Amino acid sequence: MKKNSVLIVEDDMRIANIISKTINNEEGFEVIGIAQNTTEAKDLLDSFKPELIFLDVSLVDSNGLDVLKYVRQDLSAADISIVMLTAAKDSEVIQEAMSYGAFDYILKPLAFSRLKLTLKRYLQYRERLSADQPFEQDDLDELFHNKGKLISQSNPAIIINEQASLPKGIDSLTLDKIRTVLSDNAGTAYTAESMSECIGTSRTTARRYLEYLLSCNDIIADIEYGTVGRPERHYLLK
């Protein structure tokens, strides 16, 4: 399989090395460099042309969005896919990233099951673009809006439904994160708190999604009592 070249722009080398190891362990990808600041990122971009960039928004010397703008404006590289890595949840940052064509937006603390899901989506995206066949409207909707069905690699039976079919308060992206964590760690039970740490949400949010999956009969739950006798649900993939 052809390896897709990846550039990581992250000023925390501990996180960058973990991301790099995760990516290199996935079939079809190869990290060609790690940049800790905007200057290093631009130098690597001038020397190489990676197909995929994982870009931290909050860099020491500048805003990571400057790198995104450099790719789109100075390099005029519309074919480089960029995944934003950030703790920023404000709409201004998100809208700016979207306006410059970010492929994905992953919140920190980073759930590595979510990172793997992005890599899988990228392979599907590239495969769809390289297919020698005409596009239908559904194909274009999936490419431009990330809609359609996305099958979990570890469990093909798990299919992410479109947002329209989900109840209020449940979005497909967060639901996808939780399903991926459960699928990648089959046999492991999660509490609402431990799941919240994996996907980067509050415990209340994680519990709401876990209870939704329980109501859909996708997972099971056991009640265990802690040292002080407080009952707590432990959720497990069926």
Q: Is residue 20 part of a domain?
A: yes
Report the interhelical angle of 112-130 vs 137-145 (nearest 10°): 140
Are 122 and 167 in the same domain?
A: no
Q: Are 118 and 98 in contact (CB under 8 A)?
A: no
**The predicted structure's pLDDT at residue 61:** 77
Q: What rounded mean pLDDT belongs to the chain?
A: 84
Domain of 202, in residue numbers: 141-237
**The predicted structure's pLDDT at residue 11:** 93
What's the pLDDT tens digit per position in 82-97?
999 988 777 888 888 8
Q: Is residue 132 part of a domain?
A: no
Are 17 and 112 in the same domain?
A: yes
pTM of the predicted protein model? 0.62
What's the pLDDT tens digit per position in 9-44?
999 999 999 999 999 999 999 999 999 999 999 999
**The predicted structure's pLDDT at residue 145:** 59
Extract the tokens encoding 136. 């239908």
> Can you give the CATH number for the domain in which 12 is found?
3.40.50.2300
- Rg, Å, the chain Cα set: 19
Extract the tokens encoding 99. 């306006």
Could you tell me the maximum CA-CA distance found in the chain, to the nearest angstrom? Answer: 62
3-state class (DSSP) for residue 202: coil
Comparing 70-84, 155-169, 199-213, the range with the smallest average pLDDT is: 155-169
Q: Is residue 133 part of a domain?
A: no
> Can you give the CATH number for the domain in which 232 is found?
1.10.10.10
- How large is the average pLDDT for residues 97-106? 89
Report the number of distinct structural domains present in the chain: 2
Phi, psi angles (nearest 5°) of residue 32? -100, -5
